[in-house]
Chains A and B, each alone.
Chain A
Amino acid sequence: MQDEESLVRRAQQRDQEAFAQLYEGYFDKIYRYAVLRIGNETEAEDVTQQVFLNALQSISSFRWKGVPFSAWLFRIAHNQVVDYLRKKTRQATESLDESLVISKSDPQLVVEQRLDTEQLILATKRLTKAQQEVIALRFVSELSTAQVAKVMGKSQGAIKALQHSAIVALRKALSVG
């Protein structure tokens, strides 16, 4: 991706190509974040679409004041997920759809990875909201500690401590099955 700051400035001036590059650069990450937080592919798709539409509507209000664009976008995603979970009346721990796409062509590997992913989603439900957030941002969307700190509005030290406790809790949850 081209220098993100200049891309964002161009996007703020309604440069469609710049918008498209930002969209392509973050689409998969936001989608994966939504899948892990929500646990359902179809609903994660709706949330992902809404995140980008919200970002499109409010990008003119974004300012580079120590907050990177990634943090701003993931905050929109976080708010969208929280809003979705609040509105949802039934439990969010349904198993993943059969259509969940894993990026490998070996059928055996696909099955194993789907099981791994389902297991992970179920296990993260046993974690606190903050721990779920840090696992999703750090390992599934692959943000750096600094970026996660900006998204969650905490110091990097606090995020490092949180990720430690999140991994310990996840390990415990996975071993319980």
Chain B
Amino acid sequence: MPDDTADQEKSTEPERSTGPSQERSLQARIDELVEEILETDRTPEEVCAQRPDLLALVREELRKLSNVEGQLNSLFPNSLERVKSRVRSSAMLEGVFPSIPEYVVQKVLGRGGMGIVYHARHLQLKRDVALKMLLSGSYASRRDHLRFLREAESSAALRHPNIIQVYDIGEVDGHPYYTMEYISGGTLAEQIAGGMQPARDSAKLVAALARAVQAAHESGIVHRDLKPANILMTTEGLPKISDFGLARWLDRESSLTNTGARIGTPSYMAPEQLRGGAAAAGPAVDHFALGAILYEMLTGHPPFRAETVSDTERKLATEEAEPPSRFNSKVPRDLEVICLKCLEKAPQARYASAGDLADDLERFLRHEPIYARPVAPGERLIRWIRRHPLPAALTVAFLVLVGLIGSQVVDNWAKSAASRVEKARLTSRFETGIQLVQEGRFAEAHAILGRLGDGGFSELRQRIDRALADLDLVEKLDEIGVVRATLLNADDPAWHPKAQAAKEYESLFASSGIGKMTDEPAAIARSIGASEIKQPLIAALDDWAVCEREASRRNWVLEVARLGGAPDQEWENRCRNPATWTDRTQLLELCNRAPNVKASVQQLRALGDRLALTRLDATAFRLRVQAGHVDHFLANLSLADELSSRNPAEAIRYYQAAIAVRPRSATAHHNLGVALARLNRLEEAIQSFNRALTFDAKSVATHFQLGMALRTKRPLDAIQELQTAIQLNENFAVIHQAYGELLLKEHRLREAAQAFQSCLKLSKDETQREQVSQWLKQCETPPAK
């Protein structure tokens, strides 16, 4: 260490007043500014408003300060950095907590340069709270102190499910504190942790945040420091914004922390916040921050970032954010447009309110057209001009010249720019439609794709036509998977819906040109890989496999699915491994790991079917699948089917959920009817069967079940239904038997005898044959009168 330390220090004072050399007076000025920052709660930007040229130097000085401060802290754990000794040193080193009236402080949750957050409990209310104690220093003046308390009060008046509720404000030993809802699920920053979040989840979360921000803005409270670290997550995954209206009191922290990592990190700051002034505190800064949060969720990183703080600020001030799709190709175009609108440099170019942002996000989530428009090339030009006035002026002069020469050229250019925007809009709608197809939401996909115009773009027309054909195919495949679930509440050797489904899958794959069973699996997998509907096709293959009874055919289907699926889907591909097919240990292990994978519901359902095939109870597994996909039709239907025979009352709940998702599913109505009939709720069952028949009038099973439900109260109608069933398919012994029985009761002996004979022809079941033969005798030898 230099020996002239003492001299240097002594010279600090006179420097300020006299300033012998220019360099010295500059240093003195910087010292004054730094001191001002340390003494008041003003930011470097505010303090340097008069001398913006010194901002960088002042920041550098602060950085050095915080570094040395950190070093001192590590050895002399105590106040200095605006921290009152008692609270910090005791909490840090001895675990002694401050005593706060009415609360018991339990432990330290977190600690920043500005304060400590404790987990505390309100004694009388027996309520767990997070208690944030601000450590004095920055609130040097009493006036500031009162101002803080007043703002905390207005923040406490905010009530919104997505805002951390401030309960109580107080002061102990000169330290202001406030208590708030205790949330234990960590922060959004921890959840993101550099990873990309699914687009729809991100949109949902930011929409909820935007609603909360809107509510706060309506109460006149602006957050000013929204960032993932400020969003707490409940254990149910509900986001909650913390420190609303109080952030400006916590700002100081970011300008002076021990690590230096957060010094004014501007990643979530709006550009106007860099400049300071009135706009820096307006609601639009929160709109920008919401966009930045959405951006980070989609791409895993904030929109503007660079090695150093000043580089980040420069980017923030001068560059447009890169489109999120550049980092994550799965980001839907509409969502990207919404996100970039929030990140506009000019506050007036962003959404007018957080509510508008929430509306647009919800429109996106409902697959409706959004209001935000992508920036047109012309607009981009104007922005460039604004940022670069001189070259722009030259360009304009040049353009005027060009205009004089040929205004036609410019005109055409403008037209093509407009048409490009139109095409982008249509393409975006089209992509939404494709996504709906992949999600199995056919009605909505039809609504969008069926009505979508091509705007005169032949290439788009072709894509739309192909998508409609794809949609048709996916719907048919899906229908096969659903219909095979149809329940027949009776035993009959001719009833094997799975074998039927396997046959239909085979013929549909062949007729749609994807491939035949004689083809090489690899070739089929290639054509599946090239398709826009790869996922639904593979899901259909997974379902097909479980419908095939013969191992060689099944293995062929499995191989196509394996080759067509992604090679890194380890779980999925193990499911498709023939060696695991009926191995109980492996099946159970696959089931246990299922919650951690993103397999299709079809594949999960097929796994459940395999459990049943190996005589394992699939109920628990199907319950888990349903819990993970509560609004998925198949997940609800297959759980309900599993429960139907043992617990029909419970099954009914899940059938109703399935019907809520697909009100027009004949199979769901039919199976609901079966469950109702099992509980002897015959009137309701009859209604369900009739509804099923309105959607599928040719279902043998439904006519049969309806007949069975009608037989005691309306035998004639019942006979009619069974007759229809037999006309549709005469191969079911059990239907002939029931039909004969009804006719016998009605003393229509000749017809009954015919029915019994048909039954005997089909039946191989000894008990059934014996029973029917007896009835047949009754028909032939009528009881003596």
Is chain B found bound to chain A in the same assembly? no
Using a CB–CB distance below 8 Å, which chain A residues touch chain B? none
Using a CB–CB distance below 8 Å, which chain B residues touch chain A? none
